[in-house]
A = this chain, B = another copy of it.
Amino acid sequence: MEKELKIPDATIERVALYLRPLENLLKEGAQVVSSEQLADLCNVNPAQVRKDLSFFGEFGVRGVGYEVSDLLREIKKILASDRVWRLGIFGLDDMGMALVQHKDFLKRGYRFVAAFDYDPEKIGKCLPTGLVIQPVSMIRELTRELRIEIGVITTSPSEAQKTADLIFQAGIMAVLNFSPIHLRKPECCLVQNVDFTLNLDHMAYQLKKHGQ
């Protein structure tokens, strides 16, 4: 019974979380997993797991649990991570370089197909992955040619907004933003921000609170 009605954001986020332990279970040869096992592995509540999954259909068998490979396939279909998404990166300082070469992206279905920078020194250089760094001015042509779907911004903060503007103008609808500024964007486009220092701030707060 597929229900296409109002799936909570929080559910989407958790469902993505379930993917990783499920892959491990599959590798370990587990056939079946219960909501309780999966919940433990992600530390969430078992009822939460069941409710999350029930938004998308009835994948389990009562009295038994969920078939691991089934569930994995279904979740990937739900999240559209049953295919490879094509990324372009903007800004190849240390962080950008580390990301482009990071193997987890490809493992999870995200492939860098283009790399851009403003610095004439960097343009034309070949990355270990084989990508050649392109000038940002080439964004329109290359977005079309290479079918870039998501932009990753690792430029300096001062260049981040103008880079985002160019990305959206080029027809790319989604941006993963590593610069610590709030990007303006068209209504229809998506931005996700990554800021590790927010995580640190949160821990610092708790460390202080608990540590007397």
Assembled-state Cα–Cα distance A198/B105 (Å): 10
B149→A207 contact, CB < 8 A: yes
A200→B80 contact, CB < 8 A: no
A198→B17 contact, CB < 8 A: yes
Assembled-state Cα–Cα distance A82/B52 (Å): 40
Assembled-state Cα–Cα distance A182/B23 (Å): 13
Count residues of A near B (Cβ-Cβ below 8 Å).
Answer: 54
Chain multiplicity (copies): 2
Assembled-state Cα–Cα distance A41/B202 (Å): 20
CB distance from A88 to the nearest CB of B (A): 13
Neighbour of A192 across the interface among B85, B97, B199, B211, CB < 8 A: B199
Assembled-state Cα–Cα distance A21/B204 (Å): 20
Stretch at the interface among A58-66, A116-124, A172-180: A172-180
Contact residues, A74-99 vs B (CB, 8 A) = 78-81, 85, 94-95, 97-99
A108→B201 contact, CB < 8 A: yes
Q: When each residue 160-202 of chain A gets 1 if its CB lies under 8 Å from chain B and 0 otherwise, what string results? A: 0000000000000110100011100000101010101111111
A110→B200 contact, CB < 8 A: yes
Neighbour of A180 across the interface among B20, B99, B188, B211, CB < 8 A: B20
Does A104 interact with chain B (Cβ within 8 Å)? yes
The chain B residue sitting closest to A207, CB to CB, is B174
B207→A80 contact, CB < 8 A: yes
Point out the residues of chain B lying under 8 angstroms from A201, CB to CB.
16, 19, 79, 81, 108
CB distance from A127 to the nearest CB of B (A): 11
**Contacts from A to B (Cβ < 8 Å):** 12-13, 16-17, 19-21, 41-43, 78-81, 85, 94-95, 97-99, 101-102, 104-105, 108-110, 149-150, 173-174, 176, 180-182, 188, 190, 192, 194, 196-208, 210-211
16 more A-B contacts (CB under 8 A) besides A85-B204, A95-B99, A188-B210?
A13-B198, A16-B198, A16-B201, A16-B202, A17-B198, A21-B182, A41-B182, A80-B208, A94-B101, A105-B197, A105-B200, A108-B197, A108-B201, A150-B207, A173-B211, A194-B196
